[in-house]
C-alpha cells in the first residue's frame, strides 16, 4: 500500500460472540483510494459471499486507470474556483464531483449485477445480499455511497460526531414519519428489516453523499454490529482521544464485544492529517 502523508486508514472486523461465521467485509485501501464496509445478509443464502462480491466489484472499478474514469480531474478542481470572488463555483464543483460519484455508483451497480447473476445460477442462494458503505476522497471533498443499514459518520475537530447516512430500514422509515422519539423505537423488531440492500433486486437505488473535507476529520464506516451495541456518545469518546487510529478501531470492536457481541462487528476508519 502506497504511503500517504496526509491520510491514515485502517479496518477491523470480528465474528462476534454469537454468530457461527463472519458475513462482514471491510477494507482500507489508501493506494486505490477506497474505504468500505459490507455486511452480508441471507445466512444460509451466502451473505458472506455477497459482501465479497461488493469488495471485488470495488477493487475492479478502482483499479482501472484513473484517466479512464476521471479525465482531467485535477484541472477540473481548479476550475471550480472563481478567481475574482475567491469562492467555489457550484456548477463547476458539480462537474468536478460527478465522475467521482459515478465511480462510486458503478461499484454498487457491478456488485448488484454480479449477485443477481449468481442467484440465477444458484437459485437456492436467493435472498443473499449485503449492506454497503463506500468512501473515496478527492482534493478537499469526500464522496460516500450508501445502501442498507451500515453507517458512515464523520468527526470534525471541535464538532460533535455526525451521522452522514440514513438507515434504509422499515424502522427508520417509521421513525421519519412519526413524532415519537427515537428511544421509543430502539428495540422494535422492524430495526432489522431493510428497505434496500445490494443484490436483492435487479434495480438498486444508491444514496450518494458528498461534502468538504476538513483537517483532522475522522471518518467511520461501520456495520450495525457496532452501533447497535455502542452508543454514538461512546463512539465519539473513542475517536477524540489522542492515540493511533488502529488502536481506536480495536477499542471500538472490543466495546461491541464487551456489550454482548451479538453480531459481526466491523469498522473502517480514515483520518485526514492536520499537517
Tell me if 266 is assigned to some domain: yes
C-beta atoms surrounding 230 within 10 Å: 23
Residue with C-alpha cell 485501501?
A: 29
Q: Mean pLDDT across the stretch 248-257? A: 99
What backbone phi and psi angles, to 5 degrees, belong to 23? -95, 5
Asked whether the predicted pLDDT for residue 194 surpasses 80, the reply is yes
For position 78, what pLDDT does the model report? 47
Tell me if 235 is assigned to some domain: yes
Between residues 214 and 64, the one the model is more confident about: 214
Contact (CB, 8 A) for 60 and 69: no
pLDDT per residue as tens digits for the range 60-89: 999 986 544 444 555 445 455 444 545 566
Tell me if 131 is assigned to some domain: yes
Tell me if 2 is assigned to some domain: no
| Domain harbouring 133, CATH code | 3.60.40.10
Tell me if 208 is assigned to some domain: yes
Q: Mean pLDDT across the stretch 98-127? A: 97
Q: What is the dihedral of CA 132, 59, 248, 15, to 10 degrees?
A: 60
Q: Mean pLDDT across the stretch 250-254? A: 99
Contact (CB, 8 A) for 42 and 127: yes
Asked whether the predicted pLDDT for residue 145 surpasses 60, the reply is yes
Structural domain including 57 reads 8-272
Asked whether the predicted pLDDT for residue 58 surpasses 80, the reply is yes
- The domain tally of the chain equals 1
Amino acid at each position: 500500500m502506497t504511503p500517504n502523508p496526509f491520510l491514515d486508514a485502517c479496518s477491523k472486523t470480528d465474528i462476534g460472540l454469537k454468530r457461527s461465521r463472519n458475513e462482514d467485509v471491510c477494507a482500507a485501501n489508501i493506494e486505490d483510494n477506497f474505504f468500505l464496509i459490507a455486511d452480508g445478509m441471507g445466512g444460509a443464502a451466502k451473505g458472506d459471499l455477497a459482501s465479497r462480491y461488493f469488495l471485488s466489484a470495488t477493487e475492479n472499478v478502482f483499479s482501472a486507470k484513473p484517466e479512464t474514469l476521471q479525465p482531467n480531474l485535477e484541472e477540473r478542481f481548479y476550475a471550480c474556483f472563481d478567481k475574482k470572488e475567491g469562492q467555489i463555483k457550484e456548477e463547476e464543483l458539480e462537474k468536478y464531483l460527478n465522475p467521482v460519484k459515478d465511480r462510486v455508483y458503478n461499484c454498487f451497480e457491478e456488485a448488484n449485477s454480479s449477485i443477481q447473476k449468481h442467484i440465477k445460477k444458484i437459485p437456492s442462494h436467493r435472498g443473499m445480499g449485503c449492506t454497503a458503505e463506500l468512501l473515496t476522497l478527492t482534493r478537499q471533498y469526500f464522496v460516500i455511497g450508501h445502501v442498507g443499514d451500515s453507517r458512515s459518520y464523520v468527526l470534525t475537530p471541535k464538532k460533535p460526531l455526525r451521522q452522514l447516512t440514513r438507515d434504509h430500514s422499515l424502522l427508520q422509515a417509521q421513525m421519519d414519519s412519526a413524532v415519537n422519539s427515537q428511544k421509543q423505537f430502539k428495540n422494535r423488531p422492524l430495526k432489522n428489516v431493510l428497505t434496500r440492500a445490494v443484490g436483492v433486486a435487479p434495480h438498486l437505488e444508491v444514496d450518494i453523499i458528498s461534502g468538504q473535507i476538513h483537517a483532522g476529520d475522522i471518518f467511520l464506516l461501520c456495520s450495525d454490529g457496532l452501533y447497535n451495541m455502542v452508543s454514538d456518545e461512546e463512539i465519539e469518546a473513542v475517536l477524540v482521544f489522542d492515540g493511533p487510529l488502529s488502536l481506536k478501531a480495536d477499542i471500538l470492536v472490543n466495546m461491541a464485544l464487551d456489550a454482548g457481541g451479538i453480531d459481526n462487528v466491523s469498522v473502517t476508519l480514515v483520518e485526514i492529517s492536520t499537517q
